[in-house]
Amino acid sequence: MTRRTDASTITDDQLDQLYRDRDAFADRVDTLTAVARSNAAAHKAAVTDALRAEARADQAEARAADWRQAHRHQVGLLLEARKAEEAEARAAAAAEAAVARARALAADMRTWCAPYGAATEYADRLDAALNGTTS
């Protein structure tokens, strides 16, 4: 058990020990206060960094969404261009087939029996028109 003493019976050594204990306690309180303040500042900095990182992530996601939309638009344009090219190729093939049929008709017309060589004349005119040599 701790022996209790009256204030009048405290010796100088005991009083010095009390002062040392008080000062050590004050030092511990100061240290803990400094650590708490440091932790509070670190927490505030971490929250600020996290908020900034979240804002940057949101901006990056928005840019990525814009890029995805632009990519989809470009893909759509390319698909439309491909369809137009295929349609033009089909039209060109159909035109070439029509020209081939007209040339075959002109060749066949040369064998027709017509008065005054009219079939041959028409075949020549048709060939000239297909060749782009008509005047």
Spell out the SS3 assignment of 43-97.
HHHHHHHHHHHHHHHHHHHHHHHHHHHHHHHHHHHHHHHHHHHHHHHHHHHHHHH
| Backbone phi, psi, residue 12, to 5° | -65, -35
Specify the pLDDT at position 7.
Answer: 64
Mean of the pLDDT values across residues 35-42?
94
**Structure tokens belonging to residue 22:** 């008080």
Residue 30 reports pLDDT greater than 60: yes
Highest mean pLDDT among 13-27, 59-73, 100-114: 59-73
**Structure pTM?**
0.49
Mean of the pLDDT values across residues 38-67?
96
Specify the pLDDT at position 131.
Answer: 87
Q: How far from the centroid of its chain's Cα atoms is residue 78's Cα?
A: 18
Query: pLDDT (tens digit, 9 = 90+) per residue, 57-97?
Result: 999 999 999 999 999 999 999 999 999 999 999 999 999 99
Specify the pLDDT at position 69.
Answer: 96
What are the CA-CA distances from residue 32 to residues 15, 25, 109, 119 (Å)?
26, 10, 113, 116
